[in-house]
């Protein structure tokens, strides 16, 4: 397997129309925005793309559209997670056939399979293609079987194409164990930050990041990534603190918060698809005020 290091990976949201159908016109503009503003690669649709609310057909259509829009300008990592192993396998094969550069999956969630079942689930997905495979922390806290060091190492020992682990748990012990023990099995094994908190992963050898906030503040995200890539972690502190403030603001409202912040920056991607809650008029107005008050966002691009 050719070594694939993704770099700064943007994870686009999924735009919806008022009837909650996918807005492909807005999605095309969003992809172009990410490509113009520092994306080394795209990963989609991750949890920020509301993958749990998309049908299998919609997931395939989004990937096909993105690959056609990108036209090989950057690698596209296809997110193929599903609670059903056979469904995830078929998505992985569809991604490889369509031209994706890699695939990503997390353990099943909303049920509690044994760790041995999670290992088998992930191994079967990874073995379905020859693409680099990244396993990810589950996107929902305290639900399902968590991704552990033991699961990661067992999958690594069985899959030649397991390229790395994408950690969104920010569990320091897991990150240290995963990269240090993983590299004893495979020296090129990668740790990727699954959030915009890059410094902690970078200090222990993390090499890439999946960035949910790149749709709001791509220049700040790029600045932070570049500093971490140079191991200038002390200099990265201010950018990381600004990212933390933005993350804290949007996380309170979940998908609606992220999309609301993007709307405040002139990139309207609609409301989240139910059952995710949309912001009310007062909440939305308050979010716009808080985004406008963040001085570090004045250097960011406005509109598409």
Rounded CA-CA distance 304/217 in Å is 13
Query: How big is the CA angle at 274 (ends 46 and 165), to the nearest 5 degrees?
Result: 15
Rg, the chain, Cα only: 18
Rounded CA-CA distance 186/184 in Å is 6
Decide if 166 contacts 136 (C-beta within 8 A). yes
| Domains along the chain with CATH numbers | 8-232 (3.20.20.70)
The pTM (predicted TM-score) of the whole model is: 0.96
- pLDDT tens, position by position, for the chain (304 residues)? 558 999 999 999 999 999 999 999 999 999 999 999 999 999 999 999 999 999 999 999 999 999 999 999 999 999 999 999 999 999 999 999 999 999 999 998 777 889 999 999 999 999 999 999 999 998 765 566 789 999 999 999 999 999 999 999 889 999 999 999 999 999 999 999 999 999 999 999 999 999 999 999 999 999 999 999 999 999 999 999 999 999 999 998 999 999 999 999 999 999 999 999 999 999 999 999 999 999 999 999 999 9
């Amino acid at each position: 397997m050719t070594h694939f290091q993704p770099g700064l990976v943007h994870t686009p949201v999924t735009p919806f129309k008022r009837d909650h159908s996918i807005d492909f016109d807005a999605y095309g503009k969003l992809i172009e925005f990410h490509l113009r503003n520092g994306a080394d690669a795209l990963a989609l649709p991750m949890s920020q793309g509301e993958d749990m609310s998309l049908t299998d057909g919609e997931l395939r259509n989004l990937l096909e559209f993105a690959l056609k829009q990108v036209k090989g300008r950057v690698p596209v990592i296809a997110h193929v997670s599903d609670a059903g192993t056979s469904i995830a396998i078929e998505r992985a094969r569809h991604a490889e056939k369509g031209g994706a550069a890699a695939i990503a999956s997390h353990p099943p969630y909303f049920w509690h399979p044994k760790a041995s079942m999670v290992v088998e689930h992930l191994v079967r997905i990874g073995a379905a293609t020859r693409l680099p495979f990244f396993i990810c922390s589950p996107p929902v806290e305290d639900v399902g079987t968590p991704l552990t060091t033991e699961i990661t190492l067992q999958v690594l020992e069985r899959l030649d194409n397991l390229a790395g682990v994408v950690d969104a748990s920010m569990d320091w012990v897991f990150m240290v164990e995963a990269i240090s023990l993983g590299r004893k099995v495979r020296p090129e094994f990668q740790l990727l930050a699954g959030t915009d908190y890059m410094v902690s992963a970078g200090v222990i050898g993390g090499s890439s990041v999946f960035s949910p906030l790149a749709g709001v503040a791509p220049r700040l995200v790029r600045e932070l990534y570049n500093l971490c890539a140079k191991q200038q972690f002390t200099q990265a502190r201010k950018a990381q603190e600004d990212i933390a403030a933005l993350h804290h603001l949007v996380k309170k409202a979940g998908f609606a918060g992220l999309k609301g912040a993007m709307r405040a920056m002139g990139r309207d991607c609609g409301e989240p698809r139910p059952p995710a809650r949309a912001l009310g008029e007062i909440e939305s107005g308050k979010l716009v005020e808080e985004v406008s008050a963040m001085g570090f966002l004045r250097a960011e691009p406005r509109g598409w």
